[in-house]
Amino acid sequence: MMKQLLLSFSALLVFFLQCTTALAQSPAVSPALPPVVLSPPQPPALSPVQLPVPSPPQPPALSPIQIPLLSPALSPGPAPSSANVTAILEKAGKFNTLIWLLGNTKVGDQINTQISTSGQGITLFAPTDKAFSRLKSGTLNALSTHQTIQLVQFHVLPTCISLSQFQAVSNPLRTQAGLSDSFLLNVTASSSNQVSISTGLVNATVTANLYTDSQLAVYEVDKVLLPLQVFSPKSPAPAPVPSSSPPLPPSPQHRPSSITSVDDSSATSLIRHAALSFGVAAIAAFSL
């Protein structure tokens, strides 16, 4: 039994060895490939789109603006003046009184400031020293400070007027002294630019053009311009109207006393007269 088992085992071993040898000599079989699974075609990958960043809009190039010329009605006012009214009068050499008044009342500084900063024009009528000398003695000294300022401002117009423009002005003209009718001037001009001025008290004439620019005009005049408000003659006070009712009797304290006082000399004369009369009567009695 044991012998048979060994023979069977030997036979199996030989068979196994032969099979191994045969397998070793046979060509190697490549491993089976896995089945190919066809996937649907994929679209090509898209690269990210780089969107352009919008730049801020650039303003269009501006062409030079052609500014139309303004009409005279809309044209800007004249440029301020650098003139000095005091220097103009000093250069003329015969306006010492007016220069003193302009400085004392500060009207000169006001004129210079106005023509140099505000652009408003000024016209000044300048009386000469000879014109002031024709005034009644003490006229200027009799004026109050306020009246002196009004007198100086009465020679100033709040606009610059050339000689030729006086032909077209509308009278009466307002002065710097005030809006009252007593501070207005009537100015007339002939075709030859002969300018006359009336205040209601004085008729004056422009005798020279001292200075003129776009902001200031200074004219010499032969008389001091006297405003009605300051120099108008005062009317006399009306007489009292007599009353038609009878006068009232005087009060008791004002009634005259019925007793008349007698001074010493009168008393002495009465005594002497009484004694003389008594003596005459006594003599007459004894004679009977």
Q: Report if residue 72 sits inside a domain.
A: no
Q: How many domains does the chain have?
A: 1
Helices 96-105 and 85-92: crossing angle, nearest 10°? 160
Q: Report if residue 140 sits inside a domain.
A: yes
pLDDT > 70: what percent of the chain?
55
Q: Report if residue 264 sits inside a domain.
A: no
pLDDT at 65: 47
Q: How far is the C-alpha of 41 from the C-alpha of 180, rounded, in Å?
A: 107
The whole model's pTM is what? Answer: 0.56
Q: Report if residue 231 sits inside a domain.
A: no
pLDDT at 155: 97
pLDDT at 171: 93
Provide the b/e sequence for 202-220 (b: ≥16 CB within 10 Å).
bebebbeebbbbebbbbbb
pLDDT at 260: 45
Q: Report if residue 78 sits inside a domain.
A: no
Q: Report if residue 145 sits inside a domain.
A: yes
Q: Report if residue 32 sits inside a domain.
A: no
Going by C-alpha positions, the residue among 151, 131, 155 that lies closest to residue 229 is 151
CATH number, domain at 123? 2.30.180.10
pLDDT digits (tens, 9 = 90+) for 163-206: 989 999 999 999 999 888 889 999 999 888 899 999 999 999 99
Range of the domain at 127: 85-221
pLDDT at 120: 77
Kind of pairing, strands 173-174 and 184-189?
A: antiparallel
pLDDT at 1: 62
Q: How far is the C-alpha of 205 from the C-alpha of 94, rounded, in Å?
A: 17
Q: Report if residue 115 sits inside a domain.
A: yes
How far CA 127 is from CA of 23, 97, 199, 269, in Å, comes to 152, 9, 14, 79
Below-70 pLDDT ranges, the chain = 1-6, 14-79, 233-288
Q: How far is CA 277 from the centre of its chain?
A: 102
